[in-house]
Structure 1
Amino acid sequence: MSEGPGLRERKKLRTRHALIAAALELFVERGYEQTTVSEIAAAADVSTRTFFSYFASKEDVIFHNTREGLERVLRVIEEPRPGDRAIDLLTRAVTSGFSALAFDERLQREIAPVNALVMTVPSLRARGLLLLFESQRELAEALHRACPEEVSLVEASAVVGAVIGGGKLAAFVSMSNGASPEEMLAAGRQATELALSALRAASPPPS
């Protein structure tokens, strides 16, 4: 079996990771708005054209993991097990998201600089809020499709908003109070678990 495709994919991942690392370092050192795409490419030792083959803009570098993370939790919801209720699917989806973060040291290193940029750069804050809204919408629609007899679209939107919104808020509040990346993740996880516990208590299994 040829190893060509695997080697090419690893090379692409290395280039992608190099661009992300270079961009974040420059954003922190020089400021997001002051850093150009050409400077990021040069720092990663690639051409500007290569940068645009991986990312459409500087903003896309900041939010590079958003779609991948969303699709991970969507897969959980879209593949229910026999007897699963909406709260079971949402719990498992949230757990899978936090587990992925816990085992990805590279993403953990990015949490602090990315969140600091999102909180301080107006254009990134706006993009972050839009992505959060869109992610919650997709999750709510998926939950409703998976359990149409149990939760309406409005109800699915409410529970997703409570769990995901609560976790995001707790993480950002902890960051604004000087928490480390590990403490931010812990705060977000605690908030989602509290929300899930409240929802589970409000929706006991049928007798």
Structure 2
Amino acid sequence: MVGLRERKKQRTRRALIEGALRLFDEKGFEETTLAEIAAEADVSTRTFFSYFASKEDVVFYDVDERMELVLSLLAGKEPGMSPGDLLLKIIDTSLEQLASQEVLTFENTELRVRLILTEPTLQARALQRLFDSQLRLAHGLHEAYAGRLTLTDSAAAVGALVGAVKLAVMAGIEHEHSLDELWNTARRAAQVALSGLRSLG
């Protein structure tokens, strides 16, 4: 059971994220100050830095948590599970985790994608985080199937899967109208990509 102190921290973090995204939408990313984000959440700027190191970190608030989940799934794979089935499980579990986040709405997801596509600072951060996470996932998949998958196989599989899912979500977000539709798009893209990866066994 989550204690009172932890619940308060979660509420503050959520208020900072929601407040920041709202301000980014209304004023623009570059024009929004840290002080304004803190004020929106009714906390001090010093408190903001207890949760995030920068405005950019607010946009990517869940990336590290999702990466840890992925690595734990790789480390705890079930005996006999194929690489393709494990990768699909990772996608499904990641989507379930996203769906459980109270702060995540379709509007916030749409805004995040728009910000990342249009703000040069966020584009650079997103590209760096994407390469880093894919490389970590490739190494994790390679280790999970040591002696069965080469690092090249693992990297190619991860690149194909992540690329398919991310591009499908970015392309579909203009046409979908709910998170459920968006998650279905992501899962369909994963299935399409994985159908070509069955040669991995």
**TM range, smaller chain:** over 0.9
1:126/1:181 CA distance change after superposition, 3 Å: farther
- Counting only pairs closer than 5 Å after superposition, residues 49-60 of structure 1 correspond to structure 2 as 49-60=46-57
| 2:100 is aligned with 1:132 | no
Q: CA shift at 1:105, angstroms?
A: 4.4
Residue in 2 that maps onto 1:70:
67
Return the alpha-carbon distance in structure 2 between the equivalents of residues 127 and 185 of structure 1: 24
Unaligned 5+ runs, structure 1: none
1:164-207 Cα deviation digits (max 9, x unpaired): 111001111123x443343333222211111112212x244xxx
Letter in 2 for 1:16: R
Larger Rg belongs to: 1
CA distance in 2, matches of 1:81, 1:185: 24
RMSD: 1.6
Question: SS of the residue aligned with 2:104?
Answer: helix
Query: TM-score scaled by structure 1?
Result: 0.90
C-alpha separation between the residues in 2 aligned to 1:73 and 1:108? 22
Corresponding position: 1:35 with 2:32:
yes
TM-score, scaled to structure 2: 0.93
Q: 1:53 & 1:203 partners in 2: Cα distance?
A: 44
Q: Which residue of 1 aligns with 2:187?
A: 189
Local SS of the residue matching 1:173 = helix
Identity of aligned pairs, percent? Answer: 46
Indicate the larger mover: 83-92 or 35-44. Answer: 83-92
Secondary structure class of the residue paired with 2:3: helix
Give the SS at the match of 1:104: coil
Where do 5+ consecutive residues of structure 2 fail to align?
none
Decide whether the 8 Å contact of 2:135 with 2:155 is kept in 1: yes
Q: Which residue of 2 aligns with 1:22?
A: 19
